Structure 1
Amino acid sequence: YTRPGRRHDFVPELRFEDFLDKQLSIDETASYYHRGVCIEGADSFENILDFIDWLPKIGMNSFFIQFENPYSFLKRWYEHEFNPYLNKEQFSNELVQELSDRLDT
């Protein structure tokens, strides 16, 4: 799980026989009870979903959106603030609320 997104998931294929004469012992303890992140910057809805899917795969157990909804982060992405190479996309409070509600489910 090198980064967010299913296209970056790599699960090696092993046969059952590969485990018959092997012994594996893993004893891990997390340094902190709460391990997570808070989004920042410019994020698309798909980026956020991929990120949430990825976090438990790397041992994280929390995700935090700073505000009631991620308006400012989504706005930066869809209006391409600070990116003169892309045109602004349709963006509204209604769209943000819809995307925020979908993230909450």
Structure 2
Amino acid sequence: MDPDSGATLAETAAAKMVPQRPRATEFLVLQANKRPLLSVKYQPPQSLRLKASIDAFGVVRVRNARTYELLAESMPGEPTALRPGFNPLNRADLAPRLS
């Protein structure tokens, strides 16, 4: 988008922004000032309230909305692929519990 006129100069899917438009990505990073570009809170049925966000590099992060514990993190530019080495479960998640 042209900052002066507001006209759309080019459209790029967020997931492909980093490799296809690195200068535009840099601009978004500076504008975002280390904040996500978009965040949304939601609550799946019978689950905890979650917060999902996407940053200028196309990294999607899902956190517990109350504790901010990181539950999932995607690879840059690939919102549907978990980051290599990311383990979404910790030892406490695997322990038996009484309900």
Structure showing greater radius of gyration is 1
Report which structure shows greater RCO (CA 8 Å, sep ≥6). 1
TM-score by length of structure 2 reads 0.26
Richer in strand (by share): 2
Richer in helix (by share): 1
